[in-house]
Structure 1
Amino acid sequence: MHPIVAQPTKPVSYVFTHFETSPEATGIHSKPYAVILSILLSSYNLLGYDTAAQLTEETKKADRTGPIAILSSIGIVSIFGWAYYLALTFCIHDFNYLFDVNNETAGAFVPAQILYDAFHGRFINNPAGAIVFLCIIWLSFFFCGLPVNTSAARVVYALSGDGGIPFSSIWRRDRVHQKRKVPAKAVWLCAAISIMLGLPILKLDVVYNAIVSLSIIGWVGSYAIPIFARLVMAEEHFKPGPFYLGKVSKPIRLVAFMWICFTCSTFLLPTTYPLQWTTFNYTSIALAVALTLIMSWWFLDARKWFKGPVKELEQQDEDI
């Protein structure tokens, strides 16, 4: 819909060959550095396949359908995400105006500004269409937040059954709401944490960047642990399942591990210069604090009693 409204659109040569660093707005003059930061877009886009992994325990023949669902979700989000980015790029009217602090979005929300300019220019200075379209996008943010909260609650629900998080007895498996059949306490915990993390965003934009970056580092980085373990594991100790890549699995594991390390490092880089209190990337500090708390809890307490996943029968015996 964007290219249909935004007339005229940028030519194909601009979309696929033009290069901008916008040093006036970002302070970034290095093209290689700008290319590295552009990797963030793909990391933002490639989300959601973990939900397919979490649902495998509730599906038939999960050892085969689970990997297929994960690969399918990656393919779907890649295609639609790439199409969305292309549509936005074709709709750019004035690139420099996108980062202008005096524009309609204060230079802070480039996709919204692109949509605003498209509708504002097409319908003779009438931004009503852009406002309606942005309301649809903001509403989609809400519905995107619902599955994120649901997914987080499922993780709390599962880990509490293994005693893997603080106060597991509160969020554990027997705390499922009798009427709604959901782990209500885990849902409310995740909702409360989301609200507390979101409140500082109303005042400081850097908080939002730090929270999003830290979330993706934690989420993507968690996949690096089993991948690295599989890299160093002797082949004779591994029993492949029905969905196995065979000889190509080792180079794929290596590329995947290196990609995760690279993308996680990219999220720690500043995106605006010169470095000030309002432009500094606080993700590194937040990550250091989170790792310090987790490792302190492990060495001081959790390592003394945490034995790994608890089998369902053992959990039921304990509850009885």
Structure 2
Amino acid sequence: MADNSKSEGKLADDQYVSEKDHVYVLDVDNAKLAELGYKSEFKREFSLLETCAFSFSIMGIVASVSSTLSFGLLSGGHVGLVWGWFIPSFFRSLRTSAGLYYFSAKMAPKKWAPLACWVTGWANITGQVTLVCSIDFTCAQMITTAIAVNSNGETVLSLGATYGILIAILFSHGVVCSAATRILARLNIFYVVVNVGTTLAAIIALLVLSGDNKVSTKDAFTLFENNTGWMNNGWAFMLAFTAPMWTLTGSAFISGADRSFQLQVGVGATASLGWLLLISTSFVITSVSDLLSSPLELPLPMGQIFLNVLGKRGMLAIWSFIIVVQYVTGAAQGVDASRVVFAFARDNALPGSRWWKKMNSNSVPVNAVWFVMGWAAIFGLLGFSVTALTSLAGASVIGLYTSYAAPIFLRITSGRDKFEPGPFNLGRWSIPIGIIAVSWVSFVTTMLVFPPGQAPTPQTMNYAVLIVMAVFIFATVYWLTSAHKWFHGPVRNVDGVVEKDATQM
């Protein structure tokens, strides 16, 4: 076997050797990829521990809660914070890089498989790129918050300056995400320590240092205040769901079915720690109206909470770590998004695919990385709207959850007889849970196109629908005028018989 491998040559990352019409794969993950028609093109240098750490990093608990606190505050006050996070946490998804549109194609009727693949892929890329933008935009807002607090409110940066910081962050993330996979894998252990450590520190600091300056347990869990501008309290409360839906969209892509459980643990831990942080935050908010009308004009109210409880020095100390966490979250999401762009380009589904699917010598899709950062910078222009985060968060959730729901919908309809259960499956519960999942996504995506209030202005409009519809119109026109002639779904780049373990040949 060794002689044959030398004569035939090695592919990509030294994980495949070929002989005639056979492809021998050196591990189970690569065997599964080969069965699906793909050769392994990334270096698999994330251990199980590092994969879980990546999952934590990409969701950035304390930073995500700090970024989205305003959703809960506006949509129910204490109830919005606590229960607006708890309820949606049960509706979360995991996915593989490119697996979504692959299985949409597989589960759809043969005639409609290419279109199902096309719609799912474009929805996923829209969500991935806007998620990078929304994470980095809130990171820029965190920096402006720190500057405002440090200057006692004398220096409040303009929206233009905030956009400039966003561009700088995106550029640095482009550099980081272009690094070799082994470097990113090793850094994840450091990331998770900072992430979880800062979250626990924030919970303890808020509860201990606030002393007796807390609301009652009853108020912390049940006091409802509608500050949205919507007359219906039930609808106002449901708008708080945006926060956890945005945070938990960032679960890491799965490399092998055996890792699904580990990532479920990562997502579950994120949801649980986030809830504990929000409970502790709810206890120390003595007046929601005062917080929303902060004299410092801070873009993120969580900064004012830390300032009230910890003082200036304490706030800046913990806020600096939160900025690091958010920065790392953006970098992790940039890695994820670039892999999805690469995968879709590998199937020639993007304009200029031959550029976006190129790999460098370290098996990193550098061009795809800069594709993500470039489009994130364009979407970041929404930062000049006061509802920028609402628009960006809404677009990312709509795009990602639509792509999550598409293969599930096809699985419970046309794909019932095509589905082949893997080692991690729901068994007889797959159909009822699939129905719940599709119903939930349908509700959430509809909800997220609504503006924050009943009488929106150009400045307070929710522009999520503009982003989503712009991509939808482009993808539709592209499909009707050209793509339907040549796009037939996932493109196999491995042929022949697949053997799972070359060592047994």
- Fold match, TM over 0.5? yes
Q: Aligned-pair distance for 1:78? A: 1.4
Aligned pairs for 1:236-255 (under 5 A) are: 236-255=417-436
Q: Assess, with a 3 A threshold, how the Cα gap between structure 1 residues 244 and 136 changes in structure 2: closer, same or farther.
A: closer
Q: Whole-Å Cα distance in 2 between the matches of residues 170 and 147 of structure 1?
A: 22
Q: Whole-Å Cα distance in 1 between the matches of residues 372 and 240 of structure 2?
A: 30
The corresponding residue for 2:302 is 111
For residues 87-136 of structure 1, the C-alpha deviation after alignment (integer angstroms, 9 at most, x for no partner) is: 22122132111111x52234x4222222222223xxxxxx1211222222
Q: Identity rate of aligned residues, in percent?
A: 25
Find the partner of 1:93 among 249, 268, 286: 286
Q: Secondary structure at the match of 1:164?
A: coil
The corresponding residue for 2:359 is 176
Q: Assess, with a 3 A threshold, how the Cα gap between structure 1 residues 246 and 200 changes in structure 2: closer, same or farther.
A: closer
Does the 8 A contact of 1:157 with 1:183 survive in 2?
A: yes
Q: Which runs of 5+ in 1 are unaligned?
A: 57-61, 121-126, 315-320
Find the partner of 1:224 among 402, 405, 424: 405
The corresponding residue for 1:165 is 350
Q: Assess, with a 3 A threshold, how the Cα gap between structure 1 residues 213 and 181 changes in structure 2: closer, same or farther.
A: same
Aligned pairs for 1:42-121 (under 5 A) are: 42-49=244-251, 51-53=252-254, 56=255, 62-63=256-257, 65-100=258-293, 103-106=295-298, 108-120=299-311
Q: Aligned-pair distance for 1:199? A: 4.3
Does the 8 A contact of 1:46 with 1:74 survive in 2?
A: yes
Q: Whole-Å Cα distance in 2 between the matches of residues 295 and 82 of structure 1?
A: 40
The corresponding residue for 2:374 is 192
The corresponding residue for 2:208 is 4
Q: Aligned-pair distance for 1:66? A: 3.7
For residues 273-304 of structure 1, the C-alpha deviation after alignment (integer angstroms, 9 at most, x for no partner) is: 43212112122222222211111111111111
Q: Assess, with a 3 A threshold, how the Cα gap between structure 1 residues 225 and 235 changes in structure 2: closer, same or farther.
A: closer
Q: Assess, with a 3 A threshold, how the Cα gap between structure 1 residues 307 and 128 changes in structure 2: closer, same or farther.
A: same
Q: Whole-Å Cα distance in 2 between the matches of residues 242 and 296 of structure 1?
A: 39
Q: Whole-Å Cα distance in 2 between the matches of residues 134 and 217 of structure 1?
A: 29
Q: Scaled by the length of structure 1, what TM-score is found?
A: 0.84
Q: Whole-Å Cα distance in 2 between the matches of residues 47 and 36 of structure 1?
A: 17
Aligned pairs for 1:275-286 (under 5 A) are: 275-286=456-467
Q: Whole-Å Cα distance in 2 between the matches of residues 18 and 200 of structure 1?
A: 33
Q: Which runs of 5+ in 2 are unaligned?
A: 1-204, 496-505
The corresponding residue for 2:337 is 152
Q: Scaled by the length of structure 2, what TM-score is found?
A: 0.54
Q: Whole-Å Cα distance in 2 between the matches of residues 118 and 269 of structure 1?
A: 34
Does the 8 A contact of 1:270 with 1:281 survive in 2?
A: yes
Q: Which amino acid aligns with 2:244?
A: S
1:271 equivalenced with 2:452 (yes/no): yes
Does the 8 A contact of 1:152 with 1:190 survive in 2?
A: yes
